[in-house]
Structure 1
């Protein structure tokens, strides 16, 4: 099972598209959506939790610290927080596991499972970079929402698919969401 968390940063489209692709591939996902993310989902995409629940296998409330994903005995294979707020990164960096997202991330790190954070913030302060470095030192992977252009995207969907494809690459899941670089300019 892959845990997906959507936190309250702009760029929720990345999390939604990841869920869509994982569902199409038949992958089981557990989903946590923070309260601020719910507001941004409504604003940026016009969708709510009921629509997201259709894209996942299990849905957990963000304030439920008793959910299965908050225990090391839950055998989820990886966790992706997309988009990931700087508040969430700060909490993970300092071990402040106060909600289901930060506790599940804490479990992923302590159990040496794959943890992938997709920050969507710019510019970055030194403390943001230090927090990301701390998480990286513990084995977390930081994949900023920085699309490439070498594949000559024609629309926003292709930019989103590039980033989602990079997430899938880190999770070792085969896909064809974008054209890979072949070392030569056409």
Structure 2
């Protein structure tokens, strides 16, 4: 009988511990206090100051036609305010995305200048990149359609840069790679 009583006591203790664990993990905050101060402290305030000096403004965003791009993507990235909180504006979404693309910073690092949580940034940035692609791909991302067009591009790279069999290049972005084993100094 003692072993049955011990088993019941253990089961009872486990139930009490499980109940205490549930109570302990109750969320205290909906959002961190400093994230609620986005209107006062985010990079959008800095951008408004940088408009006075166009060179710095263009350097910060790494582009000249920001307002035109904003007008194109706004219908695709604008979200509706709710009774719980105001939505992150298209202006804030686009500038956060452009800073991410320009600097290569992590979401964790970018949260301090944008005053947007890393979790929100992880949804905002891919969504905004997709919107940018949708509005600009017809005019700026033209891909060859025939084999002869691809060969003409390759011939142009070989003629200008002495780089045979090259079909495209990216400028201004360093991409970290892990070289294959045994490749020596090739990479």
Question: TM-score per shorter chain, which class?
Answer: under 0.3
Work out which of the two has the higher radius of gyration on C-alpha atoms and give 1 or 2. Answer: 2
Flag the structure with higher helix content: 2
Structure number with higher strand proportion? 1
Greater RCO, CA 8 A, separation 6+:
1
TM-score, structure 2 normalization: 0.24
